[in-house]
Amino acid sequence: MLTLSVSYNAVSMDDIRLLRFPDINKNLIAFVYAGDIWTVNSTGGEARLLTSHMGLELFPKISPDGQWIAFSGEYSGSRQIFARSILTAGVFSAIIFMLIT
């Protein structure tokens, strides 16, 4: 059984069901909560916030080597694909692809 703690403005247990789009690689789980990307160890524990932008981040995918998370971000009206280092805090590392609609 996975025990997960998300410290996000006093989240109630009812809100835990709002965890979306999980991806797992070895012992790391990435998921979306409240439009941001979070990670947590697969054995449980406290989740770590990776993104916190006014825009929306969705569909995290952990790289095979476990060093990067790719995700789609919608910041200026169009959805783009970003990659971000899991180990290094700060700005997103790359824009990989921009969807044209």
For the chain, the structural domain boundaries read 4-98
Predicted local confidence at residue 88, as pLDDT: 72
Predicted local confidence at residue 64, as pLDDT: 94
Predicted local confidence at residue 93, as pLDDT: 59
pLDDT in tens, 50-89: 888 788 899 999 999 998 899 998 887 778 888 888 877 6
Q: Are 40 and 26 in contact (CB under 8 A)?
A: no
Residues β-bridged to residue 31: 38
**CATH code of the region 4-98:** 2.120.10.30
Q: Are 42 and 24 in contact (CB under 8 A)?
A: yes
- The number of residues making up the chain comes to 101
Token code pair at residue 94: 């790359």
Token code pair at residue 49: 């916030």
